[in-house]
Amino acid sequence: DSIKVFAPGTVANVACGFDVIGLALDAPGDEMILRRSSEPGIRITAIHGADLPLETSRNVAGVAVQALLQKYDQPDIGIEIEIFKKIHPGSGIGSSAASSAGAVVGVNHLLGEPFTKKQLVRFAMEGERLACGSAHADNVAPAILGGFTLVRSYRPLDITTLHTPEHLWVTVIHPQIEVKTSDAREILKQKVLMTDAIRQWGNVGALVAGLYQDDYELISRSLEDVIVEPIRSILIPAFHELKLKCKEAGALGGGISGSGPSVFMLSKGEENARKVAATMDSVYAPLGVDYKIYVSQI
Ligand code: HSE
């Protein structure tokens, strides 16, 4: 009556797809142990590796499971959750999403899989609402469904998974400074210029086409964000130098991971992804900021 869950980190937005595109990483990821308990209700018994609230209604995993149990509608269910955080809160690699997603996947398993994965996304979104005030799905969807995901619409919720080319890799650098998603959303403009919108939806469409056609050059040309990155990039040390040097080292392209401060770069093949990791290291080593670098196949 217990289960151990691996909850992967995720890269939201993937440059042009603000709030709609996301991808799942191999590392970092949280681990969670979920248990059935004879005492009704949800209890977060411990959180290792981060200072986060244990109180169910203030914890993203607690709130996500609450949403699930409300729908399940059997008031005597008791759940205990123990969380081992490996993804730092405020990293831009979907820390809150991993907790929410891992919790609902685990509880669904303990209950005998009454809900589909897409239903689980909806419950996990409640965790995101608590974490940053907006129930975006571009981290929780890839955390639950894997690979690349696309949110076509929020109302009604319409989410689909996307094909991933066989040799697509991602390198992520996490500078150890905290950027709160709520702050990084507040600084954005609420209106966009038509010329920027045209460029952005051209890129989103072409990124999806590139994924399906295994066309790495098209993917490369599409990794451009003219709406959000110009505003948020000021929060990230050496962002433009990092991007430029990674592209010179062979990256297809990249941008801010989620709301930052992490930065991701896509590459064709593991060798390029590792070269990009070394380049990230050489750009950040002199800065005096602590950082971690992760390489994953998507
Ligand atoms: N799409 C969200 C944002 C993801 O960029 O604000 C946050 O992780």
- Ligand 1 contacts (CB < 6 A) are 12-13, 18-19, 94, 136, 138-139, 181, 184-185, 258-259
Atom index in ligand 1 nearest the CA of residue 12 equals: 4
Among 136, 140, 159, which residue has the most ligand 1 atoms within 8 Å of its CB, making it the best to mutate?
A: 136
What's the whole-number mean pLDDT along residues 36-65? Answer: 96
Ligand 1 center to 143 CA (angstroms)? 14
Q: What is the bridge-based pairing of β-strands 78-84 and 41-48?
A: parallel
**Dihedral of the CA atoms 226, 126, 98, 159 (nearest 10)?**
-60
Percentage of the chain exceeding pLDDT 90: 96
What is the distance in A from the centroid of ligand 1 to the CA of 271?
Answer: 29
pLDDT, position 98: 98
Q: How far out from the chain centre does Cα 223 lie?
A: 17
Substitution candidate for ligand 1 out of 18, 99, 187, 233 with most atoms within 8 A of CB:
18
Confidence label for 176 from pLDDT (cuts 50, 70 and 90): very high
Q: Which atom of ligand 1 has the smallest separation from the CA of 228? A: 5
241 classed as catalytic: no
10 is an active site residue: no
Ligand 1 atom having least distance to the Cα of 19? 1
Selected catalytic residue, list 128, 149, 171, 279: 128
Alpha carbon nearest to ligand 1 atom 4, residue:
258
Q: What is the CA(10)–ligand 1 centre distance, in A?
A: 11
Q: Sorting pLDDT into bands at 50, 70 and 90, what band is 38?
A: very high
Q: What is the ipTM, given to two decimal places?
A: 0.98
Residue-wise pLDDT for 180-190, tens only, equals 988 999 999 99
Indicate which residue's Cα is closest to atom 8 of ligand 1: 258
Output the six-digit token pair for 229. 């990155």
Ligand 1, from 132, 180, 236, 264: best to mutate by most atoms within 8 Å of Cβ? Answer: 132
pLDDT the model gives residue 130? 94
Distances (CA, A) of 228 to 2, 193, 217, 236, 259: 42, 12, 23, 13, 9
Tens of pLDDT, residue by residue over 99-152, are: 999 999 999 999 999 999 999 999 999 999 999 888 999 999 999 999 999 999
pTM exceeds 0.80: yes
Which is the catalytic residue, given 10, 149, 171, 181?
A: 181
Q: Using CA positions, which residue lies closest to atom 6 of ligand 1?
A: 259
